[in-house]
A and B are shown apart, each in its own frame.
Chain A
Amino acid sequence: MRVVRQAVLLLRSELRQELRDFELLLSAGFFTLVLLAMFYLSFASLPVKHSLPAVPAMLWLTIAFVGVLTLTRAFDREREADTLRALLAAPVERLAIYLAKAALCLLVLMLCCLVLVPGLWLMFPGGAAFAEQPGQTALLVLLGCGGYVAVGTLFAAGLATGGGKNTLLFIILYPLTTPILLYALATTRALLDRHPDLPGFLGQMAALDLILFALAALLFETVLVGAGVAHRPRDRPRDRNLSRKPAP
């Protein structure tokens, strides 16, 4: 319960800051619109049979790009004032920090999807199934974004505290999120094809999300603070050269 209470407090603080400058929402929303416009200009003339396989790619490419932008900006706020270290030194459960950041990024991505999914439906005939199955579409987007955010929050936090460059996030994140993006692509294709086993696809995505969230939650403290426990010097041969300077 303490974790949940602290996560809610942190998320409320994040939202309060976001509602003052709309920094995340504006950058992510504008980028979504730009990508939609580019996709439309490039693929609007495709016949239906060709646009059908392109729609899942457009959906998840946009989410991948907007997601990394959101994760970067979400932790830049912490990086600029070094506030993440203040939270880490406070009696705040690390899991609460993770949950709050992940929830914020998921919320931003879902709001972008409120533009993206109807946009794809309106612009491409292949996206008509989104409107026909709104419940499954919402669940698909939620599960896909959830898995992406589960992994992304972990590494974005690690880079924010470790002084890593934001460009590293792009390099690290895309290979690691490939499984969830591939699953999401396959499930989106199943949805657009009205595949009878769509619930099975969604169930597998939900299971993958659970695994990713559990792994990320387990690793979050290690990524932020460092692995393992302190070892005695005698246990660490490599520390023998750390000579103690005698007191004068």
Chain B
Amino acid sequence: MSAAALRPDAEQPAPVAALTGVAQRFGRQVVLRSVDLELPAGTIVGLVGANGAGKTTLFSILAGLLQPDAGERHLFGSPADEVDAAARARLAYVAHAPQLYAGLSARENLALFADLRRACGLTTRPADEVLLALGLPLAVLDRPLATHSRGMAQRVALARALAGRPELLLLDEPFTALDARGREQLAQVLLAERARGAAILLSSHDFDTLLAICDRVVLLERGALVRSAAHEGDRAEFRRSAAAIWQAGPDDPVSPAPDLC
């Protein structure tokens, strides 16, 4: 699948992030195989795939946490052999785990990362504003994070990412642990981020939510991007292909095969 094939519209400006021929292996295990992917501004791209397909590795490479063994990574229109602090200031990554300091309160966690940004001369939006949009009551912010539920911690992690108004938002299973109301609120926040012009890549096992908010969905199978479906057009074909992958997945405990269109 070529990079152009993954771009919704050839008239779009340069993508916010792009991978070309990216490959990654850990020891003898090949995790990513020549992946081409483009993330244009103002779009939400959904990444689906069975457990172990390489989704988290792909996120890590885009976030600069991993150097790819092969291929090219472009961020914000420039080659990014290394993702320096200036590039990291323009992106945000929310991993599968909230990655928050348990010994600090939610407010202290948010303040630490906001202060670290300010030390670079960067601005942040008020965390309260984001937290309210995500449905987290401000009264719990001063409690130690260890007393928060997984869903509350997930909201704090999302607020930390969104506070910097990132141009590239990388979300590895952001709907995990959120209740139905939280999922709806997050979906609304992501749509607002898209309207602001952010490029968003998110993975999820919640197939219906993905299809509801994504402009494009790509399917990662054993380290290779093998299917792509735009918001309109071949969604039915994509659903059929994805269902086959889901059913063949060796250890995916989360998702049953999605309904076929």
Contact = CB atoms under 8 A, between A and B. Distances in A.
Nearest to B81: A229
Interface in B185-229: 221, 224, 226-228
A80 to B, nearest CB: 7
A90 B70 contact: no
Given A13-B101, A89-B65, A229-B82, A242 B95 contact: no
Contacts of A83: 99-101
A233 B117 contact: no
Contacts of A92: 85, 88, 116
Interface in B91-125: 91-93, 95, 97-104, 108, 112-113, 115-117, 119-122
Nearest to A19: B103
B142 interface: no
B64 A230 contact: no
Given A91-B116, A91-B117, A244-B34, A81 B97 contact: yes
B176 interface: no
Contacts of B113: 86, 90
Contact of A230 (B30, B33, B71, B104): B71
Given A16-B104, A245-B224, A90 B23 contact: no
Interface string B8-52: 000000000000011101000010011000000000000000000
A227 B34 CA distance: 20
A6 B118 CA distance: 9
Given A9-B112, A90-B117, A232-B21, A239 B69 contact: yes
B122 A242 contact: no
A20 interface: yes
B221 to A, nearest CB: 8
B228 A247 contact: yes
Contact of B67 (A10, A86, A227, A236): A227
B149 to A, nearest CB: 15
B68 A230 contact: yes
Contacts of A49: none
Contact of A90 (B1, B88, B98): B88
A189 interface: no
Contacts of A20: 103
A228 interface: yes
Contacts of B73: 230
A226 interface: yes
Interface in A1-29: 2, 5-6, 9-10, 13, 16-17, 20-21
Nearest to A13: B112
Contacts of A45: none
Contacts of A82: 95, 97, 99
Nearest to B241: A248
26 contacts: A2-B119, A2-B121, A9-B112, A13-B101, A13-B108, A17-B103, A21-B103, A81-B101, A86-B95, A89-B64, A89-B91, A90-B116, A91-B117, A92-B116, A225-B65, A225-B66, A229-B67, A230-B70, A230-B71, A232-B21, A232-B70, A232-B71, A233-B23, A242-B34, A247-B2, A248-B227
Given A77-B103, A225-B66, 6 more contacts: A5-B119, A83-B100, A85-B65, A88-B64, A91-B89, A230-B73
